[in-house]
Amino acid sequence: MVELQAQSCEACKIDAPRLTDTEITNLISEINDWDLIQEPVKQIKKIFSFPDYQSGVNFLNAVATMADQEDHHPELVLEWGKVTVIWWSHKIKGLHKNDFICASKTDNLYQN
């Protein structure tokens, strides 16, 4: 399988199928330390740590830019020393491969 971060998001239509539990299990194994949330809909969440507020702001802005380029937008929460990122597909009220692609790209931004 092509690495997730090398892929691009596809347009997600309202009738696109949600990922199955097996697909989620396989894809979540390809990203590090993301938590699967079950309620209110299936989502993936990760908290990124920073030594100060400005580093978090810079990371949040980088994620926002990437999300805009992919046309897929997460929930972002900025606090002193951390940024919480939550991915899910609003149109289908659950998880799509796009969420895992963007999670992988988020991880890559954190490493750089």
In this model, does residue 111 exceed pLDDT 60?
yes
Looking at domain 36-112, its CATH superfamily turns out to be Transcriptional coactivator/pterin dehydratase (3.30.1360.20)
The residues spanned by each domain of the chain are 36-112
Q: Average pLDDT of 31-43?
A: 93
Cα(111)–Cα(105) distance, integer angstroms: 10
Q: Check: CB of residue 9 under 8 Å from CB of residue 101.
A: yes
pLDDT-based confidence at 1, cuts 50/70/90? very low
Selection from 10, 38, 39, 33 nearest residue 99 by Cα:
10
For 80, half-sphere exposure in the C-beta direction (CA atoms, 13 angstrom radius) is 0
Confidence check: pLDDT of 4 > 80: no
What's the whole-model pTM score?
A: 0.91
